[in-house]
Amino acid sequence: MDRPKQLIGVIDAPGPARDALAETIARDGLAVIAAESPDGLPPGVSLVVAHVRALSDEQWGPLCERLPTLVVSDSRQSPGLLSAVDAGLVDYIVEPLRHGQLLRRMIRKVIELRRLEEARREDQLRLEELNETLETHLAMLRLDQQAGGQIQRKLLPPRPQTAAGVTCDYWFAPWLYLSGDFLDFQRLDERHLLFYFADVSGHGASSAFVTVLLKYLANRWQGEWDGSAPEALPPRWLSDLNRELLDTGIGKHATLFVGVIDLERRYLHYSLGAQLPMPLLVSEGEVHPLPGVGMPVGLFPGAEYPTLGCSLPENFRLWMCSDGVLECLPGETLDKRLRELEQRVLASETLEDFRTSLALGHLASGEDTGTDLAIEALPDDLTIMLLSGFANVDS
């Protein structure tokens, strides 16, 4: 579809010279209207061709602000030409009747540049509107995420807490507002304590929703447990959660460690799904990763999880960290970072000691996490859990 003709205004005193100028401009099909002054131009004029003699020095400024203006002159020495140039005209041409083709090309070029400028302004306005809408939506999303983060932290256990001589403390720091990390610690019955440590793939709302699902399922499974065969509880939980995640079809998987502590035997029954780094058991000046391997939870149908266990020493510390901790450690390889992690937990008596060794002591903890400070400082969700116990319990 052809574009509508652009209307060109010609300003000059009536007479043969103006008629000849208008005819020269109109030869290539341009629409032309002539006037004695800018006030005589109708709306819709796209560009003005004004003879230098037709306007006073004071008239050039308002005209150039109103419309793109080309000035024609019979001589480079014409009075007022410099005033027109200073006022902001687009260009000028001397002896326009002798250079009609050049004049028409200049006119068409100015019209095209004006069209592009108008399109640019329209795009800018549209982008400003879109940006304002985006900012509004981002603000709403931020508020939703912050509210979700508060709810997620409410689902975490109190910290620190002690049950039957075993103390649990942790540090929970989302990369943004919601975390894919989660943990729990609670008493199953008079003899058993339950805890688990999860790291869901990805960040944000979808990963956080999986942690809520984990909390719900754990509470349900806890209510269904009859108190027998504690060694079978961790692998069964992992198998059931694996099936639940696959059934949801949300494309999320998790690494998970589930443990049940038998308080009478001082024995840990556990199972795991691709936990990295492995939980580290510290006692009597030595650190040992808990043995065992298992498939990620939520990736493979029918995956089976190991039934594992170990005795807990008189004075133990059991450290669990999400893989975000590896981003805070030096070392060019995974193996070097894991060795560095072992040395740092061995040298740390408390959670605060360990955080300080990671240069994270300045960040908020517990209910204060999820602030802008944590967002700027952490490369990933980072959660640390410490279980310690039995030192002050009578045998």
Q: Could you report the per-residue pLDDT of 169-204, keeping only the tens digit for each? A: 999 988 878 888 999 999 999 999 999 999 998 777
Domain co-membership, 163 together with 260: yes
**Domain extent at residue 206:** 155-389
Has residue 143 been placed in a domain? no
Domain co-membership, 77 together with 170: no
CA atoms within 13 A on the CB side of 314: 6
Domain final position from 77, 97, 120? 120
Domain co-membership, 357 together with 291: yes
* Number of domains making up the chain: 2
Q: Could you report the per-residue pLDDT of 66-91, keeping only the tens digit for each? A: 888 888 888 877 777 787 777 777 78
Domain co-membership, 177 together with 86: no
Has residue 142 been placed in a domain? no
Task: Look at residue 370 in the predicted model and tell me its pLDDT.
Answer: 34
Domain co-membership, 366 together with 235: yes
Has residue 129 been placed in a domain? no
Domain co-membership, 269 together with 315: yes
Domain co-membership, 162 together with 250: yes
CATH number for position 312: 3.60.40.10
Domain final position from 73, 93, 120? 120
**How is residue 366 written in tokens?**
């517990």
Has residue 138 been placed in a domain? no
- Residue range 241-254: mean pLDDT, rounded: 90
**286-289 and 280-283 strand pairing:** antiparallel
Domain co-membership, 196 together with 64: no
Residues 6+ apart with CB under 8 A from 166: 193, 261, 263, 387, 388, 389, 390
Domain co-membership, 53 together with 184: no
Has residue 21 been placed in a domain? yes
CATH number for position 86: 3.40.50.2300
Domain co-membership, 351 together with 239: yes
**What is the Cα–Cα distance from 232 to 243, expressed in whole angstroms?**
17
State the chain's maximal CA–CA distance in angstroms.
120
Q: Could you report the per-residue pLDDT of 86-137, keeping only the tens digit for each? A: 777 778 788 888 888 888 888 888 888 888 888 999 999 999 999 999 999 9
Domain final position from 68, 103, 120? 120
Q: How many CB atoms lie within 10 A of CB 138?
A: 10
